[in-house]
Amino acid sequence: MIKVLKAGFYASIQDNGRVGFASKGIPISGVMDSYSANIANSIVDNSLEEAVLEITFGGVKLQFLADTFICISGGNFSPKINNLPVLMNSRIRILKNDILTFGKIHFGVRCYLAVKDGFQSEKILKSRSFYQNITDTSVIQKNSFLSINKIDATLKSTNTYIKVLKSHFETNQIRCYKGPEFELLNKNHQQQLFEKLFTISNDNNRMGYRLNEAIENNLPSILTSAVLPGTVQLTSSGKLIVLMRDCQVTGGYPRILQLSENAINQLSQKTTNSDFKFVLESL
């Protein structure tokens, strides 16, 4: 077990999400940055399907009540074990009563804590991902306990680590494809999409990122249609919403772009006032 001493700003258990339940109105959810989460799981020899703890902006403090192995990947929030700095993207042995903390933010928005065999929260609709109204809670709570398995004592810590791509956190180019309603835009508005520098508003979360800048919207309204993580909607005001992992399954705004999986990962490591440009990919 792991005891939550401090819950931080927003931390939740996530895996690859609830795929296949859109017909029931259930969002996919899952890790915001699958690139970083997969690194963490891989380093502790987990399946990529295992649940991890997604930590937003740090502030989390955990006490391990059993031995295990961990890896921390993604954003760097100065992780320490028993007040000693630890290496990210490396397999680390944890002993009973060790305390893991996160402090100063160096880069990124979300980091991922993987434990050997994954977090063992209740599986609902084939996923352990936290989501309001599906799971008992949408975030971890102070003084709660997180279930983990006993470890194989033959595993060892290593001094090696995976070097992550710095561009994953620093790029300002978000790659995308044309959405279903893209061709309804006139040529001038299409051009604006890829020339304008967009910034993320303070209205950003796991459901979606609203952008500050607008383009003129003369499109007719559309029938409510299917959307998914990475869909870019054009609202009636001309502002854009980039849907993220906890997004609804249908929407009534024109779907003018669709982000690639890697672009969703990269955007999830940006926050309020971060800027970027859309870059069109060809199929």
Q: pLDDT grade, residue 14 (50/70/90)? A: very high
Q: Is the pLDDT of residue 90 over 70?
A: yes
pLDDT confidence of residue 166: 86
Question: Which tokens belong to 73?
Answer: 């990947």
pLDDT confidence of residue 53: 98
pLDDT confidence of residue 153: 60
Q: Above pLDDT 90, what percent of the chain?
A: 83
Average confidence score pLDDT of the chain = 92
User: What mean pLDDT comes out for the span 141-146?
Assistant: 95
- Residue 19 makes CB contacts below 8 A (sequence gap 6+) with 28, 126
Q: Is the pLDDT of residue 154 over 80?
A: no
The closest alpha carbon to 86, from 7, 171, 177, 157, belongs to 157
State which amino acid sits at residue 193: L
Sign of the Cα pseudo-torsion (100, 37, 117, 158, in order)? negative
**Contact of 14 with 37, CB cutoff 8 Å:** yes
- Residue entry with tokens 């209740």: 122
User: What mean pLDDT comes out for the span 139-144?
Assistant: 94
Residue 266: CB atoms within 10 Å: 24
φ and ψ of 232, to 5 deg: -105, 115
Q: Is the pLDDT of residue 136 over 80?
A: yes
Q: Above pLDDT 70, what percent of the chain?
A: 96
Q: Which pLDDT tens digit goes with each residue over 24-61?
A: 889 999 999 999 999 999 999 999 999 999 999 999 99
pLDDT confidence of residue 133: 87
Q: Which pLDDT tens digit goes with each residue over 209-245?
A: 999 999 888 887 778 889 999 999 999 899 999 999 9
User: What mean pLDDT comes out for the span 164-183?
Assistant: 92
pLDDT confidence of residue 152: 66
Residue 123 is classified by DSSP as P
Distance CA 229, CA 232 (A): 9
Q: Which CATH architecture has domain 171-280?
A: Beta Barrel (2.40)
- Residue 8 makes CB contacts below 8 A (sequence gap 6+) with 55, 56, 57, 58, 59, 60, 61, 102, 140
Q: Is the pLDDT of residue 158 over 70?
A: no
Residue spans of the domains in the chain: they are 2-166, 171-280
pLDDT confidence of residue 222: 79
HSE-CB of 93 using CA atoms within 13 angstroms: 10
The closest alpha carbon to 264, from 35, 22, 27, belongs to 35
**Contact of 87 with 76, CB cutoff 8 Å:** no
**Contact of 68 with 148, CB cutoff 8 Å:** yes
Residue 225: CB atoms within 10 Å: 14
Q: pLDDT grade, residue 159 (50/70/90)? A: low
HSE-CB of 89 using CA atoms within 13 angstroms: 13
Residue 127 is classified by DSSP as B
Q: Which pLDDT tens digit goes with each residue over 109-118?
A: 999 999 999 9
Distance CA 38, CA 262 (A): 12
Q: Is the pLDDT of residue 162 over 90?
A: no
User: What mean pLDDT comes out for the span 83-97?
Assistant: 94
